[in-house]
């Protein structure tokens, strides 16, 4: 007999698995359908984020940073090391173990919350009173019925037209996370989040890294002062060679290397050889195989499923969340949309505030921000004041030996309400949480300036940046 559900979720990435757990907590009979298989060919829940995204990349960033510290930074602390070397197989095994633990724990969370889990590709068969979905795993085909459907099918890496990934010389994020040898020369196409994070990992492990970026500017979505400081640090002490305004003309993968020819911003052609090339030029929404026409689902010209501010699609009782819809492609955005949609189905008032979604780039120094950039405020004609505090003046940053960067707060010139916070520096990823809370509560810079921050902590930089909005920093 066809299994009946109140809610069917397609996709078990951070959006889908969270939506399924929340729906089950709210009392709905819920199923989550996912088709991801790991390299051993086994079903592996967690989507891009857990399998080939957030989690493995952060594991490698941490390992490579430890190696870099041991090689170049311990001496400053009076710690002498000899013969430090990398065991790349052990590093990859540690990363894989972290991934396996987390993907396995989602299966346990499903059991705990009584979410049914089906492995296979989910697609629409028909819409009516209820939706009929097909779940296909190879030859095995099953049909289920559900009253509500949440689509959380995520995204896939954007391809460079005419350039095939071969898994050996030309790689996407999946290949970039599992190179078994350290390439002597590594090329990266795209100076976005993946390019900078993966470029950092392999540079720290010993590769000579060149990043080829199409746009004339570097990190255009980031506050200009922060992007300028990042460009200085990454090209300087960090030794990532970032070339902007580049047009890739040709990529030819050979047995031992890959040849790339590109034109620079003056039109001069360059021919370079790399051992490996990572393509990281953005991601595209994934609706392949959903058979969305069967229910008349509207998909926009860029491939995103059309949704309103509550993630309703064009079809009643069908919702879409995460990378497959508008908004930033971030795990925490996906999962919060998952919670909000489950609660909407339950008749609760729930929504995600797109204005306070934090961004983090896990380079060293880290970059994190929330809210508007200074260039946005200028172009929107919003009057503002800015406060800034450099980490070089922070006692804790000195103790860490990580003094590059600064914290910057932007507040409305008349109301003093915080409009944006931008950080480049140590643990920016953790520091940004205070700014998100402050903005969600409609705080003013004065509020943060009057809150006691422990000493010596990096969070004092936030306090001082808030004081700086009214030109009363105390320690600079």
The sheet that has 185-189: what strands, in order across it?
170-171, 276-279, 185-189, 208-212, 240-243
Q: Which is nearer to ligand FAD, 194 or 226 (CB)?
A: 194
List 187, 195, 405, 468, residue binding ligand NAI (CB under 6 A): 195
Site for ligand NAI contains 176 (CB under 6 A): no
Which partner in ligand FAD, ligand NAI, none is near 10 (CB below 5 to 8 A by kind)? ligand FAD
Could you say which residues in the range 313-342 bind ligand FAD, by CB under 6 A?
322-323, 329-332, 334
Site for ligand FAD contains 14 (CB under 6 A): yes
- Neighbouring C-alpha atoms within 13 Å toward the C-beta of 333: 22
User: What mask, x for binding ligand FAD by CB under 6 A, covers residues 106 to 145?
Assistant: ---------------xxx----------------------
Select which of 119, 332, 455, 463 is catalytic. 455
Angle between helices 428-440 and 460-469 (to 10 degrees): 50
Phi and psi torsions of 90, nearest 5°: -70, -35
Site for ligand NAI contains 190 (CB under 6 A): yes
Q: Helical H runs in 236-373? A: 331-345
Site for ligand NAI contains 329 (CB under 6 A): yes
**Site size toward ligand NAI, by CB under 6 A:** 24
What is the Cα–Cα distance from 87 to 65, expressed in whole angstroms?
14
Instruction: Judge contact between 426 and 435, C-beta under 8 A.
Output: no
Strands 418-425 and 366-371: antiparallel
Site for ligand FAD contains 54 (CB under 6 A): yes
Answer yes or no: 243 catalytic: no
Which partner in ligand NAI, ligand FAD, none is near 281 (CB below 5 to 8 A by kind)? ligand NAI
User: What mask, x for binding ligand FAD by CB under 6 A, covers residues 23 to 52?
Assistant: ----------xxxx----------xxx---
Site for ligand FAD contains 372 (CB under 6 A): no
Site for ligand NAI contains 49 (CB under 6 A): no
User: What mask, x for binding ligand NAI by CB under 6 A, covers residues 155 to 174?
Assistant: -----x--------------
- From the CB of 268, what's the least distance to ligand NAI, in Å? 16
What is the Cα–Cα distance from 302 to 232, expressed in whole angstroms?
34
Eight-state DSSP code of residue 419: E
Q: Which helix H or strand E contains 21, and what residues bound it?
A: helix 14-25
Listed in order, strand segments (DSSP E) in 229-336 are 240-243, 247-253, 258-263, 269-274, 276-279, 283-285, 318-320
Which partner in ligand FAD, ligand NAI, none is near 160 (CB below 5 to 8 A by kind)? ligand NAI
Q: Helical H runs in 26-138? A: 47-52, 54-68, 88-112
Which partner in ligand FAD, ligand NAI, none is near 47 (CB below 5 to 8 A by kind)? ligand FAD
Instruction: Judge contact between 5 and 116, C-beta under 8 A.
Output: yes
Tokens 């599992």 belong to: 178
- From the CB of 460, what's the least distance to ligand FAD, in Å? 26
- From the CB of 175, what's the least distance to ligand FAD, in Å? 11
Q: Which tokens is 226 given? A: 């922060």
Determine the interface stretch with ligand NAI among 15-23, 74-82, 280-288, 375-383 (rule: CB under 6 A): 280-288
Asked, as a colleague might, if the bond just before 456 is cis with ω within 30 of 0, I would say: yes
Site for ligand FAD contains 199 (CB under 6 A): no
Instruction: Judge contact between 35 and 290, C-beta under 8 A.
Output: no
Q: Which is nearer to ligand FAD, 15 or 187 (CB)?
A: 15
Report the SS3 class of residue 280.
Answer: coil
Site for ligand FAD contains 20 (CB under 6 A): no
What is the Cα–Cα distance from 165 to 168, expressed in whole angstroms?
8
Residues catalogued as catalytic: 455
Contact residues toward ligand NAI (CB under 6 A) are 160, 189-195, 197, 212-215, 248, 280-283, 328-330, 360-362
């Amino acid at each position: 007999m066809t299994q009946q559900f109140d809610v069917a979720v397609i996709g078990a990435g951070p959006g889908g698995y969270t939506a399924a757990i929340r729906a089950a907590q709210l009392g709905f009979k819920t199923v989550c359908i996912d088709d991801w298989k790991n390299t051993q060919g086994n079903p592996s829940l967690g989507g891009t984020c857990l399998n080939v995204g957030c989690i493995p990349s952060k594991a490698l960033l941490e390992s490579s940073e430890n190696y870099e510290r041991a090689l170049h930074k311990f001496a400053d602390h009076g710690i002498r090391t000899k013969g430090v070397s990398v065991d790349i197989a052990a590093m990859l095994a540690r990363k894989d173990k972290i991934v396996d633990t987390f993907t396995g724990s989602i299966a346990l969370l499903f059991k705990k919350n009584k979410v049914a889990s089906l492995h296979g590709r989910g697609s629409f068969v028909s819409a009516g009173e209820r939706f009929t979905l097909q779940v296909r795993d190879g030859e095995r085909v099953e049909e289920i019925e559900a009253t509500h459907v949440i689509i959380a099918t995520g995204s896939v890496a954007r391809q460079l037209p005419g350039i095939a990934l071969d898994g050996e010389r030309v790689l996407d994020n999946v290949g970039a996370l599992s190179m078994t040898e350290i390439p002597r020369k590594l090329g990266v196409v795209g100076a976005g989040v993946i390019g900078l994070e993966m470029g950092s990992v392999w540079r720290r492990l010993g590769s000579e890294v060149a990043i080829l970026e199409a746009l004339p500017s570097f990190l255009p979505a980031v506050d200009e002062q922060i992007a300028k400081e990042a460009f200085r640090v990454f090209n300087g002490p960090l030794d990532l060679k970032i070339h902007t305004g580049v047009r890739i003309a040709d990529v030819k993968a050979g047995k031992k290397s890959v040849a790339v020819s590109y034109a620079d911003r003056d039109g001069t052609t360059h021919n370079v050889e790399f051992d490996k090339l990572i393509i990281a030029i953005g991601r595209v929404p994934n609706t392949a195989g959903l058979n969305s026409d069967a229910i008349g689902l509207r998909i926009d010209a860029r491939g995103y499923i059309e949704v309103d501010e509550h993630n309703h699609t064009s079809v009643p009782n069908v919702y879409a969340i995460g990378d497959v819809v508008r908004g930033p492609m971030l795990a925490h955005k996906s999962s919060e949309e998952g919670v909000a949609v489950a609660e909407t189905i339950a008749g609760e008032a729930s929504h995600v505030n797109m204005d306070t979604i934090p961004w983090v780039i896990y380079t060293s120094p880290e970059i994190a921000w929330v809210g508007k950039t200074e260039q946005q405020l200028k172009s929107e004609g919003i009057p503002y004041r800015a406060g800034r505090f450099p980490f070089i003046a922070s006692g804790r940053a000195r103790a860490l030996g990580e003094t590059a960067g600064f914290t910057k707060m932007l507040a409305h010139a008349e109301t003093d309400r915080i409009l944006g916070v931008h950080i480049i520096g140590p643990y920016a990823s953790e520091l940004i949480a205070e700014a998100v809370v402050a903005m969600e509560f409609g705080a003013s810079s004065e509020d943060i300036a009057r809150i006691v921050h422990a000493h010596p902590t990096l969070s004092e930089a936030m306090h001082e940046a808030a004081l700086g909005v009214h030109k009363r920093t105390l320690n600079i």
